[in-house]
Amino acid sequence: MIAGPLVDATFWVFALGSIVAGYRVFRTDSMVRAAFYLLASFAGVGGIVVLLGAEFLGMVLILMMAGEMLIMAIVMVMFMMNPAGLNPMVMVHQNRRAAVAGIVAFVALAAVGLLGNFPARPVPDPSTATAELGTELLGDSMLVFQSAGVALLSTMIGAVVIAGRKGRFGVAEEDSIEPSLQPDEEPGR
Amino acid sequence: MRPYVGAEVALLATAAALVAGVYLVAVLDRFAAALVAGAVGSWRRLLVVPLAAAAALLVQQRRTTERPDGAGWAVAPALFFGLAAFALALVPLGPDLVIADPSTGFVAFSAAIAFVMIAVFLHGWSPNSPFALHGAYRYGAAALSFQIPFLLAMLATALPAESLSIVDIVRAQEPAWNVLRQPLGLPLYLVVGVGVSFWGPLNLSDASDVAGGTSVEDSGVARLLWTIARSAMLVAVAAMGAAGFLGGWWGPILPGPAWMIAKTGAVLLAILAAGHLLARVRIATFVLVAWAVLIPLALLNVFVSGAILL
Amino acid sequence: MGLTALLARVATGAPVPVFAVAGPGTRSLIRDLRLRPEIRLVDTPRPASVLLVGGLVPAEMEMAVARVHDAMAHPRATVLWSAGAAGLGRPEGFDDAIPVDGDPVAACVAAYRDILVGRRGSEPPILPDVDPAPWRGVGPYGQGGSGMTGGVPYGRPMAELGPDPDGLRLDVLPVAVGPLFPRFPAGLVVDARLAGDLVLEVEVANLLANATAAAPSPEADPFLRALGERVAIADLELARARAHLRSVAEALLAAGLEALALRALRIAANLRAGDGALVRRLATIISATQVLRWSLRGVGAVPPEAVAGLGAGPVARASGLREDLRLEDPAYRDLGFAPLVDAGGDAAARLRLRLGEAVQSLDLAARAGARAATATGRVETPRGRLEAESSASERLFTVLPSLLREHEWGDVVATIVSLDLDLEEGPLARGRARPEAAA
């Protein structure tokens, strides 16, 4: 944990930047801009996590979000009939419900932040924090994390197989017929 | 995060290294090109022309397109250059001569490399121009493919060091450089490093078949900044390659920083020469090779390095 | 002296960024300008400071030249180079342009110096600044669109949904490339419908079809003369080797190997009959760059039945066809000429074949002595069979869309470059056959 006026200033830059960028996500008129504002917001949060002493988590957050937001932006541009997503469009819908959900979530999180009983011990050296994380991931909780990892991987492979054009029953758009589950039923489509 | 030097000194040192590095890239690239073309002009011309070309771009108007995303277009080169500076600041010149040595230096460097994707995509998307967007798509496809082999190649260097800190990774190379212990590592890293700064055979996003790709609409200062940012990232990649695989400051007779600079220069020269001697790959071929060849090789590299340590 | 003035003074030492337009008859001359260190040919007009227009631009291309001019950043100037033709035409609107008959490079350098130090004003735009389609004030944001998909936002047509070969429905963007795209021959327009980087549908147009070429380049001259008179085989074969090397240089440029392309151009510029070893060495280096493997292998496959009978020269021979007019010439038979044939059929095969044919031509030129080709009204040029009425490249146009469809844009460019289309040959040959039409 490092402290000082420079660190405080950095915190406020990240914090305010995240909030402004998060607000802009909903006020912008383009999908790609929205994705990049969201990324900026996440990067600010990642920076704050680093300042809090969890260097590894903060850096990994930034690392992962870069790729994810890029994929999101490209997929949105690909599927929306809009050259490069530069045609302005309304990015929000169901405004009332979204506002209610947002306010409830904010109040709940703020309540946790203000009323929660946080421990007041100083954060250890960041390098030991990284080591502790590693021990946790590959020690006591190894079974949980490895099972989750394998489950996610098989889900991804399954999704790719389902989305693929060639399935078990022939090419997707070529009138392929699934066999029915009942012996005397007509094959379903 | 242990700051070794004051913030002012650190900023100045990084800036100086970047300026010197960018100029070196410009001169070495011209030199390599002239050698391959078979006509080396005078040394004076070699040294002066990059500066004159930069001045020419400075006095040129900065054109915009109709309806661009102005903010994105302006931010992209700055972001790219900032990432290069960030990455370079993580590279140690000597055991005590480093601007920033976070305990997770390896992850920080990888995060910077990942963010380059954003800078390049933004640069290609913002001008609202078909070829620029085309270049951005290409970089997205290539970068998403080389991220994993890159992380795995870098990860293997952290194994003998038992640390994610770059200084520790270099320190652990005292008995043997990683290029000897993990012969697959440096080639894998260089493939990706060239891809990150889209140079030579992996210059897919700013390629000649899309008339300059993401920079097709750039003129004047915008083009100069983009060129500088690209060169700066190349310097950072070469410096990290020297630190991660070529033993950093370790070497006989000469002081550590001299070795580090010499090794960085050698890696740079190799990359720049390869840029003029290797043809650009097809994007489809590269993506296929990245997923089907580079990732298995990188995994093999990690497993073998781990097995040796056990 | 102010900072800007100082920078401008320093900038005069830089190679002049030139965007070059090759009018009919100046193609190889413009390509050779890459060898001049005083200028740098750029791929896009944005960073160009000097627009160099060679020869007489046909009326169909004038609009494109004006648009390129207006896309250039200030300060800018235009140099109109007559390239040896008498009576230079001036495209409409280029009233401030600098005409030059001699060395275009010296004119470019002088023009650049003048606009930098302010001795010459930067040229104003030629075309009026109007929207391509009315859009202002229309739609919810005044952007010309309606909702997510309709309208003409900012005057540009929207991309539309269309099927792609993966069975998805993604947007399809119409993009017309040419006639001044630097990788294509001047005058070629490729009207592509792009889904991402995939060309779904494509139409091609030749804006040089009705051009009147004033004077042939030194590269084309021997072949044009051979249409009607006996020309020394040594001259023809040396010109063929040069043309092949220039084509190889274009392929290297497209593959990102600019320095090696310069080497090929330099060899072409100083070529003599005994230089076969030089070309063979270049072929070895080219092979080491992997351009024949990871850049071009399998790209732009031309099935032999698609080009059989078109007289497509190296393109046909690289697809395994033994088509060559030189086989019918007794003078060539006397030299023991046998055409090189490559069964590969892809862009790599065409590049390989051109390098092989360049060596072969140099060998023929060295052994030809005083022999002259028989004049039959048809001649085998570096692009194939040239007749008074049509050229090989013009006949290849009919099959071009089928070669480009459903390929990635990068492969489309590599394919077109590997075909080495020369759209000047036809107009030059027709101008020769009907001199009154060219006058």
DSSP codes joined into one string, C269-337? HT--TTTHHHHHHHHHHHHHTTIIIIITTTTT---HHHHTTS--THHHHTTT----GGGG-HHHHHTT-
Distance from CA of C23 to the nearest CA of B (A): 20
CB contact under 8 A, B110 and A74: no
Residue range C212-222: mean pLDDT, rounded: 80
Alpha-carbon distance C434 to nearest alpha carbon in chain B (angstroms): 38
Distance from CA of A160 to the nearest CA of B (A): 15
pLDDT value at B267 more than 90? yes
- Residue of B282, B285, B286, B289 for testing the chain C interface, max C β-carbons within 10 Å: B282
Average pLDDT for residues A9-28, to the nearest whole number? 91
User: What pLDDT score was predicted for residue C438?
Assistant: 44
Residue B104 and residue A126: Cβ atoms within 8 Å?
yes
Q: State what percent of residues in chain C have pLDDT above 70.
A: 92
CA-based nearest residue in chain C for residue A86: C153
The DSSP output letter for C129 is -
- Asked whether residue B2 is assigned to any structural domain, the reply reads no
Report CB contact under 8 Å: A126, B117: no
- Chains touching C, CB cut-off 8 Å, 3+ pairs: A, B
Q: pLDDT band at residue C167, thresholds of 50, 70 and 90? A: low
ipTM of the complex: 0.91
CA distance B269 to chain C (A): 15
| Mean pLDDT, chain C, whole residue set | 87
pLDDT of residue C136: 78
CATH of C3-117, one of 3.40.50.12280, 3.40.50.720, 3.40.50.620, 3.30.450.70: 3.40.50.12280
Residues of B in contact with C13 (CB under 8 A): 48-49, 52
Place A124 in a pLDDT band, splitting at 50, 70 and 90.
Answer: low
At B3 the pLDDT is 46
Whether B59 is in a domain gets the answer: yes
For the cut 60, the answer to whether the pLDDT of residue B181 exceeds it is yes
Overall average pLDDT of the C350-369 stretch: 93
Domain locations in chain A as residue ranges: 1-93, 127-167
Residue C280 sits at φ, ψ, to 5 deg, of: -60, -40
For residue C439, is pLDDT > 50? no
Distance from A67 to chain B by nearest Cα, in Å? 7
List CB contacts (< 8 A) between C43 and chain B: 208, 211-212, 216
The stretch C133-156 carries a mean pLDDT of: 71
Rounded Cα gap, residues A15 and A48, in angstroms = 7
- CB burial of residue C114 (10 Å; 0-12, 13-18, 19+): middle
Mean pLDDT, range C355-369, rounded to an integer: 92
Q: What is the DSSP letter of A51?
A: H
A71 lies within 8 A of chain B by CB: yes
- Inter-chain residue contact A81 with C160, CB threshold 8 Å: yes
How large is the average pLDDT for residues C167-191?
A: 85
Mean pLDDT (whole number) for B254-264 = 86
Whether residue B92 is predicted with pLDDT greater than 90 in this model: the reply is no
- Confidence class of residue C262 from pLDDT cuts 50, 70 and 90? very high
Min mean pLDDT across B125-129, C185-189, C347-351 is at: B125-129
Q: Which chain C residues touch A if contact means CB-CB below 8 Å?
A: 140-141, 143, 145, 147-149, 153-154, 156, 158-161, 166-167, 170-171, 173, 196
Q: What is the pLDDT of residue B1?
A: 42
> Is the predicted pLDDT of residue A167 greater than 90, yes or no?
no
Q: Does B60 touch chain C (CB under 8 A)?
A: yes
Rounded Cα distance, A169 and A185, in Å? 18
Does B44 contact chain C (CB < 8 Å)? no
Residue A45 pLDDT greater than 50, yes or no: yes
Does the pLDDT at position A166 exceed 70?
A: no
> How distant is the Cα of C97 from the closest Cα of chain B, in angstroms?
19
Q: Which of A27, A71, A80, A87 should be substituted to probe chain C, the one whose Cβ sees the most C Cβ atoms within 10 Å?
A: A87
β-bridge mates for residue C16, sequence order: C39
Domain count, chain B: 1
Domain C221-438 annotated CATH 1.10.645.10: yes
C421, C393 contact by CB (below 8 A): yes
On chain B, the residues whose CB falls within 8 A of the CB of C72 are 63
Within the 135-174 window of chain B, which residues sit less than 8 Å (CB to CB) from chain C? 137-138
Which residues numbered 137-156 in C keep a CB inside 8 Å of some CB on B?
154
User: How far apart are the CA of C169 and the nearest CA of chain A, in angstroms?
Assistant: 8
The C-alpha atoms of residue A111 and residue A98 are separated, in whole angstroms, by 20
Q: Tell me the residues of B at the A interface, defined by beta carbons under 8 Å apart.
A: 1, 3, 7, 67, 69, 72, 102-104, 107-108, 110-111, 114-115, 117-118, 121-122, 125, 128, 130, 133, 137, 140, 143-144, 147, 163-165
Residues 6+ apart with CB under 8 A from A104: none
CA atoms within 13 A on the CB side of B2: 11
Q: What is the mean predicted confidence (pLDDT) over B12-16?
A: 85
- Chain C residues touching residue A80 (CB < 8 angstroms): 148, 171
Taking the alpha carbons at both ends of chain A, their separation in whole angstroms is 61
Q: Predicted confidence band at B182 (pLDDT cuts at 50, 70, 90)?
A: confident
Chain B residue at shortest CA distance from A36: B118
Question: Mean pLDDT across chain B, nearest whole number?
Answer: 87
Q: How far C130 CA sits from the closest chain A CA (Å)?
A: 20
**Residue C33 pLDDT:** 93
In chain C, domain spans: 3-117, 221-438
Which residue in A has a C-alpha nearest to residue B67's C-alpha? A86
Nearest-angstrom CA–CA distance, C439 and B4: 79
Give the minimum alpha-carbon distance from A40 to chain B in angstroms, rounded to a whole number: 10
> Average pLDDT in the C46-60 region?
90
Structure-block tokens of residue C299: 């790209």
CA B220 to chain centre: 23
C71 — pLDDT class (breaks 50, 70, 90): very high
Q: Which of residues 76-115 of A touch C (CB under 8 A)?
A: 78-83, 86-90
Q: Which residue of A has its CA nearest to C146?
A: A89
**C-alpha distances out from residue A189 to A172, A177, B74, C168, C411, Å:** 11, 5, 53, 20, 39
Angle between helices A31-51 and A5-27 (to 10 degrees): 160
Q: Do B217 and C44 touch (CB under 8 A)?
A: yes
State the pLDDT at residue A189.
41
Q: Categorize the per-residue pLDDT at B171 as very low, low, confident or very high, splitting at 50, 70 and 90.
A: confident
pLDDT at residue B160 in the model: 84
Structure tokens belonging to residue B262: 């010499």
User: pLDDT at position A104, please?
Assistant: 96
Question: Which among A81, A86, A88 is the nearest to C161, CB-wise?
Answer: A81
Taking the Cβ of residue B62 and every Cβ of chain C, the question of whether any pair is shorter than 8 Å is answered with yes
What pLDDT, in 10s, does the model give residues B58-91? 999 888 887 788 888 999 999 999 999 999 988 8
Residue A82 has pLDDT above 60, yes or no: no
Cα nearest neighbour of C172 on chain A: A81
With CB atoms and an 8 Å threshold, state whether C145 touches A173: no
Residue of A nearest to B108 (CA): A59
A46 to chain B: closest CA residue: B111
Supply the pLDDT for residue A178: 58
* CB-CB neighbors (< 8 A) of A167 in chain C: none
Query: Can you give the pTM of this predicted structure?
Result: 0.90
